Each structure stands twice: as C-alpha cells, then as structure tokens.
Structure 1
Amino acid sequence: MNHYDMQDDVTRRKIFWLLQRLTSLSLWKAKHSAFKVFAAAYETAVKTWPSTDPEAMEADHLKTIYEILSLYDKGLDELARGRRFIWRKGQALDRVVNRFNYLASYFYRDPEYWERGSQIEPYPPKVDALAKLMRASEYQMEHAPLEVWGTDDNFAQLMSPWALLSREKYNHTFYELAYPTFPGDLLEVPNPPGPVIQSGQTVPCDGIWEPVTIEQSRVLNVIPLGAKLFKNNGCFNYFVADTAAPNLSSFDDETFNVTARPTHWRLVWEDTRYLNGAIPDESQYFLDAAKLAEPANHGIVEPVRTGDICPVSGEWGTEEYGGKTVHVEQGAAMPDLLAKDNLGERKVHWVTWRLIRRS
C-alpha cells in the first residue's frame, strides 16, 4: 500500500494538516523565538571568542542576523492581522526564508568544512552547537507558502506528499529537522465545488488548493448537463491571493528533461485565520510524541487485522503465509499480504499484524 498516494484519505488529511501548520501564526512565531535564541548565542560568540581562535565566527553575519530579526517583526505583525501578502516575492517572510538560506549556506567557510555554499564535513563541536541553534528555527518545507516566481516554468512548491511525509526528507546529511507529531483526530479534507483556476491565472484568495483534472461525470451512461467530476492530479499546495497559479512538472525518463505541465487548481480550503484579530488555539501543531497518552493497557498494543486502522506508528509483523514486517503510520489502514498459495500462485491475503517496535 502506498501511504503517500494523494488518493489515500489518510495521506490527504496529513498533507492538509501540515499545510495549515506550515502557514500558521504559531509556527512562524516559534521560528522567530528560536531564531532569537540563536542570534543571542551567535552575538555572544562573536564578542567573546578570541580573535585568535581558529574556529572564530564571522562578525559580518551579524548584519544578516539582525536583518532577519527585523523582517520577522514586520512579517509577524502583518500575519497576526490575516495579511498573508508577506509570503509574496520580496515581502517580509519571503525575505526571512531567503536570508536564512543565505546565512546557512555561508555559515562557516573554513575550507576543511565548506565549499561553494555547501557544508562538506561535520562542523567542529563549538561551531556545530551554534549551527544546531540556527537550524532549530527551521521547518521542513517552510517555503511552501512562498510565491512561485522568476522562471517560465513556475513549478509548484510542493510536487509530492513525499517531501512532507517521508522521514528521510527530514534528514539533511549534517542536520535533521524535527518530524511533526500528528494529532489523533485529523480533520476530514473539505470537498467544495471550487472555485477552479488554471495554471497562469491569478489566485483569487489565500488557501490550500488541489491540482485536478476535470471530467464529465457519467451516471447510467448518461452525462448530466453541466455536471463535472474533479479528479486529483497531484499534491495539495498553499497559494497566496493575487499570485499566479503554478504548473506541475513532467519528467521524461528517456531524455531526463523536466518540463512544465499546466493543470487546473481547485480551492479546498480558504484561509481566513486571524482576519478578525482572534488567534485560535494552535497547540495541536506542537504535540510532543513522548507525552502522548499510551493505550490503556500499559502500552500493550493489541493485534490488528488487514483493513483496521493502525493504532501506533512503528514496525508491524505477521507470521502468516511466510511472514513479513512492514512500517505503518498511525491512522493508516493495515495492509494485506501478497504471498504464494499451495499451487504457487501469488494471491492477496488478509492477515493479523502484531506491533514489533514503535517509531
């Protein structure tokens, strides 16, 4: 079973929740708070580490750090009023991401550890401690709401749910970003009729949009006049009003060329948060996995069958039909097992799964 298929209900709910989280005031305030801690530590390092220290930090970075802090102040003030233009090209929170990426790319330019804007070796311990403080203000795919601009292709920020759901994507070789803890009751994804726009057209409102294909619906082989069916065509994306709806990408396996693939986008959820000045409870975006309640029987998880909802993320195993171990995320449906029968034919079997190890 493909748990990263946008046809799968659990995948859709998780991406919907993650995009709301990435564009929430609480997450960007958390980014700001973490970056202030880093800024203070970096300033102290510049002022107190001896100039003869071979690991001394560059004082010139302080200019970029102060600029980022100022941009946070401007951007968060607007976001708290529901003004999301701050993610458009050149605006405050777009600049925060841009300047942070510059700072991270040129953070420590000792040639033993850095080459052409990339870290090539683990930093020395003191430098790494500062780098970890800096990365504490970073979230996977935090650029999701930023305006797509600058090329003829204008590819969407989020092409696949894999970028947000795969734990591998949170590991960036020399640092790892925190994987989010999902609430147990993820909301159902809305299914409104639209509006629907095409790539290149102006986005009419802030919100989460789904790429779709539009087909005529058939009922008893009769096409109702004006009836249409929306079929998913890729991963949800978050767009800001008055930007241009982007394209999807198409990859040619033979030529290895990536080309723009225009699509229709359907509004799934309009973002009207904070417009009236009220800040909702957003604590669900920062759940601590270690503090979540265990099942009632002291952590013992009962076996489940194919098709049941997975109660705990982790490695699950079955001894039936030769046995198998799979990784299943909490909230997903338990998979079946493809195995050979007595005649040597491969068939689908429903089996019982038992938890081997939590993730």
Structure 2
Amino acid sequence: MSTFMYAAGKNDEDARDRAFYLLKKYTSATLLRRAINLYREFLRDFEREIKRPEVEIDYSNDLVRFLKFLQPMEYAERLLINPARRAEAFNMLRDALDFHSYIWGRKYEELGADDSSDLFYKIGYRKPAEQSFGVFGKANSAADLISMLCATLNKNGRIFFSHPLSKARSAMCWTYESIFFDKLPVNGIPPIHFPARLTKCPPPNKDNKNEIWSGSQISVTGIWEPWAIDPKIGVRCPNYCLAGDTASQYQVEGTDTLEDVRWRLIWKDTRYENGRTPSEEADYFSPDLSANVNTPIMRSALPGQACPESGEWFAPHLCSKTITMVAGEIMPGPEFGGTGSVIWYLTRRPQTPNSN
C-alpha cells in the first residue's frame, strides 16, 4: 500500500517526482515483461495441473485457448521498445487482455469454475477475479499489469475510492488524487513502492509555445503536464500520452468536474532507443511482486518446511483445508493430495501482534 499522501500546496514537488516515476514504470518494457512472465507461469502451472493422472476431464482445449492470448503479448513486447511503434504495442495489448474477460467470463461461470469441487477452484480460481490466487492468481496479476499499462492512455478510466462501487466517489486517470491510490484490489493497481532515491521530475514547462489544448492531437510521445485555465490552480498531475492521441480533459482534485486544460511536454519518451533498458527499471519489481495484489500468494511453503510467517494457510490440494500456523513451525501434510502437489499459501496474517 502506498505510504505517500498528496497534500495540495505542501508536497507538490514530491508528488510530481513520484508521479513521474510511476508513469515511467507503468509504461515500461520491464512491466510488460513481468506481466508476460506471470502469464507464462500461469500457462505452465495450468498445464502441469491438468496433466496429473488423477484429472479425468480433458482440459487441453482450454490450454490451447489460453495459449493464443500469449502471442499478441510477445509481439507487443518487441514493438514497445520501438518509440515509433509503441502505439501498435498498446493496441495489441488491448487484444491480449481479452484473456481476462474470457477466463473470468460467462463460459467458466456456467461451467462451475467457482465451485469448490472444480479443478479450477482447487488451483486458485475465484470470482471476483481479484480474489484468485495460486495458478489463476498469476493470470489475474498479469492482467492487472497489462491493464495498468493500457490505463496510462485511457484517461477516461476511473479509480474508485470505496465500496460499493455504485456509490463510491471516483477520479479519472491520472490525477494526484488517483495515481497514489492502491488500497482497493478492484482497481487493479499493484502495491506502490518507491525507491530510496527518485529521479527528479523535469521542472514545470512554463513555455506555452507548443502547448496542446484538450481535444487537440498530442504531437510527441512522452509525459505531459496539464495547466489549468484558472492560473490560481496552476499545473497538475503529469500524464503519459502517445503521439496521435487526443489530449484529454482533467478532473481537478476534490471535484467531479472535467475541465479543459493546456497540456505541455516535460519528458519525451526515448527509452530503449539504444537497445538498453534504463538502470532505474532494475528496481521496478524488487522486491518481487507475486501473483495476487491481496498477497495470498506472496508467501508459500511446502509440507516439511518451516512456516515462514504466522497466519492462516491454505492448501488447494489438501481438501481445501485451512490451518493456523506460527512462524517456525513445520508445515504439515503429505507431499501429494488427492488432486495434486500440496502447496500451502498464506491467506491471512494475524490481525493483531502476537502477545507472546
């Protein structure tokens, strides 16, 4: 969960630096590679589970269908590092993202994938998707990352601030109000972590010569900042835009009104032009983010191993059993359950510190 809170007029410069960092991370080749690797892991784990001798249903057609979504991801990866073809990459990723609506859509709902006796359920399928873990948690996390990448362009996307969503206040992407909000899993925003040292955001662009008004076409791929018409409001949260996009309106913090603004370029995206990945990206996923933003897959352990963390643990292949363990205790159970290898996943940490 992000520990940074935006306070207008008090930490604007820090907010700009952090927003600049997040926008680069959310549109990076490193993020896409992380998403692709998670999806590959999902495919590998799914294939392993459906080929176990005790599985009587033939799921090979499902695997083939899931594999088809990998191709546009891999092709988009090559395009994303080419500044002239980044728009093509984003378009392909929108197609690739269809795997999420397919897996968590009507087909598997009607087939009972969320039934406790179903193989999908036993290997982590849950509805809603953000509650999935294990094998299917990896697929959902891959979708979250790709959605995040695409959301940098979809300025009409919304970040919701509470439940239920039908009554929740929301803000468009990206404003200072929304870019640091990672508290609700339904928003699909992975936990936000900032490095000890941040690259400074370029200073506000006070030159209005090449500014672009809302509704006009963006001329350069990069990070732009919106200047409100009202000079008292000043410059707001930076946004990432592709050349050819239509400059959006902006939802000023604390309001529900979309306003026309003047967009000014502060950073041209020339990453990867020399064939190298910026050193900053090495820390984007360190510590490693695992397969569920709610962290049930952040910790796992095998029978016979020492419990790495106190809390409630769940083994999908051990009769859906949940146990309470204390760190250091030996994880119980056989190596194999009735439906596959036994792996324990941490599903809930203690609510209060252990008095002992």
Question: So what's the TM-score if we normalise by structure 2?
Answer: 0.59
3-state SS of the aligned residue for 1:212? strand
Which of 102, 113, 124 is the aligned partner of 2:121?
124
2:151 corresponds to which letter in structure 1?
A
3-state SS of the aligned residue for 1:200? coil
Q: For residues 107 and 28 of structure 1, what CA distance do their matches in structure 2 show? A: 27
193-202 or 66-75: bigger deviation: 193-202
**Which structure's CA Rg is the greater one?**
1
1:203 corresponds to which letter in structure 2?
I
- Structure 2 match to 1:78: 79
Unaligned runs of 5+ in 2: 115-119, 126-133, 158-170, 290-352
- CA deviations on 1:209-231 (whole Å, 9 max, x unpaired) are 22212567xxxxxxxxxxxx981
- Structure 1 match to 2:199: 187
**Cα offset for 1:177?**
6.0
Q: Which has the higher helix share?
A: 2
- Structure 2 match to 1:349: none
Q: Which residues of 2 match residues 32-43 of structure 1 at below 5 A?
A: 32-43=36-47
- CA deviations on 1:8-56 (whole Å, 9 max, x unpaired) are 2222211110110011111111111111111122234444476756xx8
Asked if residue 142 in structure 1 is aligned to residue 149 in structure 2, the reply is yes
2:287 corresponds to which letter in structure 1?
D
102-111 or 206-215: bigger deviation: 102-111
Q: Which residues of 2 match residues 292-307 of structure 1 at below 5 A?
A: none
Q: 1:206 to 1:112 in 2, by over 3 A?
A: same
**Cα offset for 1:189?**
1.5
3-state SS of the aligned residue for 1:94? helix
Q: 1:157 to 1:237 in 2, by over 3 A?
A: farther
> Residues 155 and 174 of structure 2 are in contact (CA less than 8 Å); yes or no, is this contact kept in structure 1?
no
Q: 1:136 to 1:261 in 2, by over 3 A?
A: same
- Structure 1 match to 2:278: 280
Q: Which residues of 2 match residues 176-325 of structure 1 at below 5 A?
A: 178-191=190-203, 192-193=205-206, 195-214=210-229, 231-233=234-236, 235-249=237-251, 260-281=258-279, 282-288=281-287
> Residues 152 and 174 of structure 2 are in contact (CA less than 8 Å); yes or no, is this contact kept in structure 1?
no
**Cα offset for 1:62?**
3.6
Q: 1:250 to 1:214 in 2, by over 3 A?
A: closer
Percent identity between the aligned chains?
A: 23
Q: Which has the higher strand share?
A: 1
- Structure 2 match to 1:94: 94
Residues matched between the structures, number: 255
2:180 corresponds to which letter in structure 1?
L
> Residues 23 and 145 of structure 1 are in contact (CA less than 8 Å); yes or no, is this contact kept in structure 2?
yes
Asked if residue 172 in structure 1 is aligned to residue 186 in structure 2, the reply is yes
Which of 9, 16, 19 is the aligned partner of 1:12?
16
Q: 1:112 to 1:34 in 2, by over 3 A?
A: closer
Q: 1:269 to 1:102 in 2, by over 3 A?
A: farther
**Cα offset for 1:260?**
4.7
**Cα offset for 1:252?**
12
> Residues 61 and 103 of structure 1 are in contact (CA less than 8 Å); yes or no, is this contact kept in structure 2?
no
**Cα offset for 1:264?**
1.7
2:219 corresponds to which letter in structure 1?
P
Question: So what's the TM-score if we normalise by structure 1?
Answer: 0.58
Unaligned runs of 5+ in 1: 115-122, 151-155, 217-228, 291-356
- Structure 1 match to 2:30: 26
